[in-house]
């Protein structure tokens, strides 16, 4: 391969060096929007320029054709990369999806393939010839149909790019117009150079001016980068940041006139862009700019302002920052307006709530304190001052040493220096205090109450002890009386048998003595029973039994006694009544007491009836008589010990007053209930319950049982 000096190569070397410098600069700022396409664009220009330099410097035809092929990756990439740069500059990255990029790359890739295989088909260059221009060896290309297809496609991409830049130039603000103008020049220069080369109007025959035109593209790109900071400030930045900000943004010049504002600021000021631009800021923000000067001492300022009236009134956080040029001269001022009306209203509501809270807690009798998250006491009401024996000023700021258990009632001891120690019940809840997380504790002085409860506990223990003494005494006395009474009863019975029919007067006296001995023996038995139940010395012997047979047997035991008094005694028990589970002997004793009472207080000709029925849980046993009945006011006292009413039918019928009390205690043993219904002169009905048993739980009875 032979080389020659070609003066046209020097400008292309300069273009290549400029392209390399821009690639380096953009690579360092590759995260900036537009940097990627700019890097690829200048790499393509670099490849194209260097390939053309080597082609101009070679002398033989094969070398020139080879370097022409080397240029084609740059040639086919330049229009595509330029369009990508423009699209990103315009903020339309949504167009640069994979599908669109693939479609856009089809023609360039096919063209590149055809250029490298041109010897086989001649679709890019139909004829290539070498000629001399003075001392220089030059090459002339006659282009084939594939080249013109690609040329049309590349021109279309450049036209689209130019239209987009022209729209930006028309609609952009002044600083962005410089950027758009520089880029538009960069787009048009290669277009014009390529048009001169292909139209035959080229003043340098055989020389492609397109790479030279890219020298202007490089200069325009460099100008946009260094002068207008293409990769630092682009319209997309303003549109995406300033226009979409939730805060109002206003830009003032050195005369404090509005030169720019975003839609939020327009809404805040209640004006359009055309109305605001050029207007003095003091006209729009009179209350917010008082005393504001554009000098270095006022670099940043912040204040709260209120705009609007009535319901449309809003509070704004106004901040100002000075703007400088590259020479550190003040060029204007940036104002931001942040709406904090909701926060302001919330703060006012919080203050009102705290005021209501203070009024409320200052009137309560309980001590109320507020402790922050670090355990420091922040508030104490008057009751707390009394409880702690210290003024609020002395309490606030001290650490709260009690355990914090939110939601639970806790008892704490209060040691108050020289004052008497107190006991308080404390409940803690989480709350907020001046916008911070805190704990609210209410304390109630229970010192006196606890003392009274302790005294009551002592008194109760004493009552229990006395009750036990009473029960022991009753048991002892009853036991000691029962033995001699039994002897007396047996002796009187023997004497009666010996003198039967002899001395009528003596018999009557001995009979009265025997009846009183019987009554006294029953009283002693009742006292023993009630004493054992109350002292817990009787425990039920639980078993499963049929209520039918127990009731029938008990009624049968009273049959002769009822007949002797002329009273009808009967029972009505369904055959299918459920079995029960309890102490059968105790159930029989209760039933005996109730039937005995019914017979005792029913006159001759009356009736006593025992019935049974059941519900889901219990068997209900009732004893109903047609006796003298009980006054309504006395029914509630029936089951109290030693309670008697003047309702006997005849002499000797007065009871001990313990039968119903014993019945209630016995029913309680198996968890049952007993109650009475009565009406004076019409009789009474007593009912008690016994737990029922499901049929499947009843054990099989042996034959003959």
Q: What DSSP letter does each residue of 295-333 carry, written as one string?
A: SGGGSEEEEEEEES-GGG-EEEEEEEEEEE-TTS-EEEE
Cα–Cα dist 18/11, whole Å: 11
SS (H, E, C) 446-489: CHHHHHHHHHHHHHHHHHHHHHHHHHHHHHHHHHHHHHHHHHHH
Count the Cβ atoms, other than its own, within 10 Å of residue 605. 10
Q: What is the pLDDT of residue 149?
A: 92
**DSSP string for residues in 571-632:** EE--TTPPEEEE-HHHHHHHHHHHHHHHHHTS-TT-EEEEEEEE-SSEEEEEEEE-SS---H
Q: By three-state DSSP, how is residue 404 classified?
A: coil
Extract the tokens encoding 346: 């919330």
φ/ψ of 19, rounded to 5, equals: -60, -45
Burial of residue 233 (CB within 10 Å: 0-12, 13-18, 19+) is middle
Cα–Cα dist 429/370, whole Å: 10
Q: What is the pLDDT of residue 569?
A: 94
H or E element, residue 142: strand 136-143
Cα–Cα dist 96/630, whole Å: 103
The rounded Cα 325 to chain-centroid distance in angstroms is 51
pTM of the model: 0.39
Q: What is the pLDDT of residue 131?
A: 77
Q: What is the pLDDT of residue 705?
A: 34
Extract the tokens encoding 303: 């204040």
Point out the residues of the chain with pLDDT beneath 70: 1, 31-34, 89-93, 168-183, 186-187, 191, 194-209, 211-212, 214-215, 217-219, 221-244, 286-301, 325-327, 401-406, 417-418, 466-492, 494-540, 642-657, 694-705
Cα–Cα dist 104/87, whole Å: 13
Q: What is the pLDDT of residue 489?
A: 66
Q: What is the pLDDT of residue 87?
A: 78
Q: What is the pLDDT of residue 618?
A: 92
Q: What is the pLDDT of residue 60?
A: 87
> Which domains can be identified in the chain, with CATH numbers?
9-236 (1.20.1070.10), 245-339 (3.30.450.20), 344-445 (3.30.450.20), 450-534 (1.10.287.130), 543-697 (3.30.565.10)
Most distant pair of Cα atoms in the chain: their distance: 188
Q: What is the pLDDT of residue 233?
A: 46
What secondary structure letter does DSSP report for 699?
P
Q: What is the pLDDT of residue 408?
A: 75
**DSSP string for residues in 355-392:** HHHHHHHHH-SSEEEEEETTSBEEEE-HHHHHHHTS-H
Beta bridge partners of 546: 579
What secondary structure letter does DSSP report for 94?
G
């Amino acid at each position: 391969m032979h080389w020659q000096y070609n003066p046209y190569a020097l400008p292309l070397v300069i273009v290549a060096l400029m392209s390399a410098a821009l690639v380096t600069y953009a690579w360092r700022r590759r995260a900036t929007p537009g940097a990627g396409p700019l890097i690829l664009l200048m790499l393509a220009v670099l490849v194209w320029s260097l390939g053309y330099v080597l082609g101009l410097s070679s002398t033989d035809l094969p070398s020139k054709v080879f370097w022409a092929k080397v240029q084609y990756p740059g040639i086919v990439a330049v229009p595509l990369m330029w369009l990508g740069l423009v699209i990103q500059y315009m903020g339309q990255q949504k167009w640069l999806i994979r599908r669109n990029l693939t479609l856009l790359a089809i023609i360039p890739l096919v063209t590149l393939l055809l250029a490298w295989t041109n010897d086989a088909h001649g679709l890019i260059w139909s004829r290539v010839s070498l000629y001399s221009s003075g001392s220089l060896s030059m090459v002339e290309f006659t282009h084939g149909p594939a080249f013109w297809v690609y040329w049309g496609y590349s021109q279309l991409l450049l036209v689209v790019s130019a239209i987009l830049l022209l729209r930006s130039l028309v609609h952009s603000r002044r600083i962005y117009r410089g950027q758009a103008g520089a880029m538009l020049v960069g787009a048009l220069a290669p277009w014009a150079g390529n048009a001169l080369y292909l139209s035959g109007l080229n003043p340098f025959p055989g020389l492609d001016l397109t790479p030279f035109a890219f020298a202007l593209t490089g200069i325009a790109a460099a100008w946009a980068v260094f002068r207008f900071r293409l990769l630092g400030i682009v319209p997309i930045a303003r549109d995406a940041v300033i226009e979409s900000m939730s805060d109002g943004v206003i830009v003032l010049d050195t005369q404090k006139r509005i030169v720019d504002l975003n839609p939020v600021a327009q809404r805040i000021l209640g004006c359009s862009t055309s109305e605001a631009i050029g207007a003095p800021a003091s006209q729009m923000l009179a209350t917010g700019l008082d005393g504001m000067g554009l000098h270095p001492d006022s670099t940043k300022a912040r204040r709260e302002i209120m705009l609007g009236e009535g319901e449309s009134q809003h509070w704004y956080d106004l901040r100002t920052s000075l703007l400088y040029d590259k020479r550190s001269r003040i060029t204007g001022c940036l104002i931001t307006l942040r709406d904090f009306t909701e926060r302001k209203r919330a703060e006012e509501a919080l203050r009102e709530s705290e005021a209501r809270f203070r009024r409320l807690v200052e009137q309560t009798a309980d001590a109320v304190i507020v402790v922050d998250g670090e355990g420091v006491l922040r508030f104490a009401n008057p009751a707390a001052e009394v409880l702690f024996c210290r003024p609020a000023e002395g309490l606030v700021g001290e650490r709260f040493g009690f355990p914090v258990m939110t939601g639970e009632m806790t008892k704490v001891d209060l040691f108050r220096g020289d004052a008497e120690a107190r006991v308080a019940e404390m409940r803690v809840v989480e709350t907020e205090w001046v916008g911070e997380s805190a704990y609210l504790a209410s304390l109630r002085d229970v010192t006196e109450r606890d003392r009274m409860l302790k005294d009551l506990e002592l008194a109760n223990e004493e009552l229990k002890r006395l009750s036990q003494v009473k029960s022991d005494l009753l048991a002892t006395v009853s036991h000691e009386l029962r033995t001699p009474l039994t002897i007396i009863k047996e002796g009187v019975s023997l004497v009666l048998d010996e003198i039967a029919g002899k001395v009528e007067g003596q018999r009557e006296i001995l009979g009265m003595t025997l009846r009183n001995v019987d009554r006294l023996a029953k009283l002693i038995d009742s006292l023993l029973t009630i004493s054992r139940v109350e002292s817990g010395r009787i425990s039920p012997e639980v078993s499963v039994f049929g209520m039918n047979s127990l009731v029938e047997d008990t009624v049968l035991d009273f049959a002769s006694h009822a007949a002797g008094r002329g009273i009808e005694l009967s029972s009505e028990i369904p055959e299918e009544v459920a079995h029960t589970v309890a102490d059968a002997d105790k159930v029989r004793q209760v039933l005996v007491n109730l039937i005995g009472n019914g017979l005792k207080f029913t006159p001759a000709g009356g009736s006593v009836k025992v019935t049974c029925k059941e519900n889901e849980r219990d068997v209900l046993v009732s004893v109903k008589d047609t006796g003298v009945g009980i006054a309504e006011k006395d029914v509630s006292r029936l089951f109290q010990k030693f309670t008697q009413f003047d309702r006997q039918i005849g002499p000797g019928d007065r009871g001990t007053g313990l039968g119903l009390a014993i019945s209630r205690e016995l029913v309680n043993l198996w968890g049952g209930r007993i109650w009475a219904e009565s009406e004076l002169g019409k009789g009474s009905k007593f009912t008690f319950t016994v737990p029922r048993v499901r049929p499947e739980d009843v054990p099989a009875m042996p034959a003959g049982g």
